[in-house]
């Protein structure tokens, strides 16, 4: 489980340019941000995600409540969390304690967030949904992100990220 931030302004990953000519990109002006909370299911390679206007403890709490609808009720689920400050806020700690019957929390060591599998998914999401694309508004960016998230739930989709589990 983790969160990411995606900027509205376009960034190039790859493109062709004539030698000696710089490519110019139109931009919508002021940078705007889309935040996304997500949890990666190691067994199914599915991602549950929730867009948010802010990346704070209240949004984290709302995401935990959303996850409750996807969790099996017969056994606890393991959540891997990094040490972001919103995970250690009073509100987040109270919510984690309240829901301790539903899941176990595994805290990653500090500065080791790359050990969390969803970090690889965030890179995949940004590469497919955002890189080399121009979006004039946050709703357009959100639609592209949602399409990539929807493709992740289709078992045979060619853009689906899967992990080798051997």
Chain segment 4-26, per-residue pLDDT in tens? 999 888 777 777 778 888 777 77
Predicted local distance difference test score (pLDDT) of residue 21: 84
CA distances from 67 to 38, 115, 145 (A): 9, 21, 19
* Full-model pTM: 0.85
pLDDT band at 113; cut points 50, 70, 90: confident
Q: Which strands sit side by side in the sheet containing 2-7, from one edge to the other?
A: 2-7, 33-40, 47-52
Rounded-to-integer distance, Cα 26 and Cα 136, Å: 9
What class does CATH assign to 2-6+32-148? Answer: alpha beta
- Summarised one tens digit per residue, pLDDT across range 60-111 is 999 999 998 888 778 788 999 999 999 999 999 999 999 888 888 999 998 8
Contact 153, 33 (CB under 8 A): no
Predicted local distance difference test score (pLDDT) of residue 111: 83
Q: Is the pLDDT of residue 126 over 70?
A: yes
Structural domain spans, the chain: 2-6+32-148
Rounded-to-integer distance, Cα 38 and Cα 19, Å: 41
């Amino acid at each position: 489980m983790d969160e990411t931030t995606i900027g509205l302004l376009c960034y190039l990953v790859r493109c062709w340019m004539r030698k000696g000519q710089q490519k110019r990109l139109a931009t919508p002006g002021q940078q705007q941000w889309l935040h996304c909370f997500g949890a990666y299911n190691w067994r199914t390679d599915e991602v549950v995600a929730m867009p948010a206007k802010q990346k704070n403890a209240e949004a984290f709490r709302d995401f935990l409540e959303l996850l409750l609808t996807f969790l099996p009720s017969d056994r606890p689920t393991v959540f891997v969390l990094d040490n972001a400050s919103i995970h250690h806020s009073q509100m987040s700690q109270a919510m984690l304690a309240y829901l301790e019957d539903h899941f176990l929390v595994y805290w990653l060591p500090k500065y080791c967030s790359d050990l969390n599998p969803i970090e690889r998914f965030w890179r995949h999401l940004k590469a497919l949904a955002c890189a080399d694309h121009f979006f004039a508004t946050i709703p357009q960016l959100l639609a592209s992100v949602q399409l990539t998230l929807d493709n992740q739930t289709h078992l045979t989709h060619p853009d689906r990220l899967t992990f080798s589990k051997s």
